[in-house]
Amino acid sequence: MLNIIFNNPSVYQRVKSTNLLTNEVIQRLYRIIEKEILTNIYFEPALAWKCIIKRPWAQGSIGERNTLGTQQHAPLLQIDVPASKDTYANEIFVDTNSVEGPIRKYNLNGVAHVGSGFNRQNFTALAVVRELWEGMGMPSSALNSLTLLDASDSPALPSSYKIGILAQSSIALSALAAAHIHAIRNQVPVPRVEVPLKHAVIECKSERLYRLNGKSAPSTWGLVGGLHETLDGYVRIHDSFPNHAEGALELLGLPKDASRQSVS
């Protein structure tokens, strides 16, 4: 899977207008045939481009070298994007320090627009929902049926990422979409949707909470996986699949039964 997320509308539109990320280009860069390209789309609400390429092996199977699909972006560096045209030269960003409502103003094809986004340096779960919901052209009135209980801008879990905001907003969007479909089908007001932060976070860690025959589920990690401190930071080893653990140990010149301490 290939993803590119652009940091502002003008860059997104400039790359899109050059028509550089075509199936033909992807075929040439990745040495594949067209039927191996499953999806190649631009998604404007997220200012993103996505391309899904068929895997040669099943994810996590023996011989599969990239289970998370995160090592495939290097060939894209061979693409040269033309310099900015005059139509994007007058881009202006206006920050009102508001998490809701217009915060950016920019010229696109000579026409002034005011973005409906929010300041991503200080955002909330509700602001995320509003940005995506309205960005997809959904009715703003439906947002009145949504309540995010105990919403917070803290990570909610030990992480450098704001997992709480991600969990609560993504579940809220799905639930609100289902409620909106129900309202349309039955010609009734949009039902109330409530998403407590605690419930949303628990859902993201549900693999640690369910029981098998009354017992806690076994860990998905092997003996050497996780973070290991290095001279200049940390390195993460994934060992959920045996072939990944064995590959990492082989790379380090260690036997298959090496301990975590030996790896460190």
Residues 150 and 170 in one domain: yes
Q: Helix or strand or coil: residue 3?
A: strand
Could you tell me which residue, 18 or 74, shows the higher pLDDT?
18
Q: What is the DSSP string of 187-237?
A: T-PPPPEEEEHHHHHHHHTGGGT-EETTEEPPPS--SS-EEEEETTEEEEE
Q: Are residues 147 and 106 in the same domain?
A: no
Do 146 and 76 fall into the same domain? no
Label residue 191 by pLDDT band (50, 70, 90): very high
Q: State what percent of residues in the chain have pLDDT above 70.
A: 82
Please check whether residue 221 lies inside any domain of the structure: no
Separation between Cα atoms, residue 82 and residue 96, nearest integer Å: 32
Q: With respect to residue 213, please indicate whether it lies within any of the assigned structural domains.
A: no
Domain boundary among 83, 113, 143: 83
In this structure, are 78 and 15 located in the same domain?
yes
**Total domain count for the chain?**
4
Same domain, 127 and 201: yes
Residues 132 and 179 in one domain: yes
Residue 247 lies in a domain: yes
Instruction: Report if residue 216 sits inside a domain.
Output: no
| CA-based nearest residue to 224, from 200, 192, 246 | 246
CA-CA distances (angstroms) from residue 223 to 63, 191, 212, 237? 21, 47, 21, 10
Question: What proportion of the chain, given as a percentage, has pLDDT over 90?
Answer: 34
Domain that holds residue 181: 123-206
Looking at residue 23, what is its pLDDT?
95
Residues 114-141 have a mean pLDDT of 78
Give the best-scoring range by mean pLDDT among 8-22, 49-63, 77-91, 116-130: 8-22
Residue 231 pLDDT exceeds 50: yes
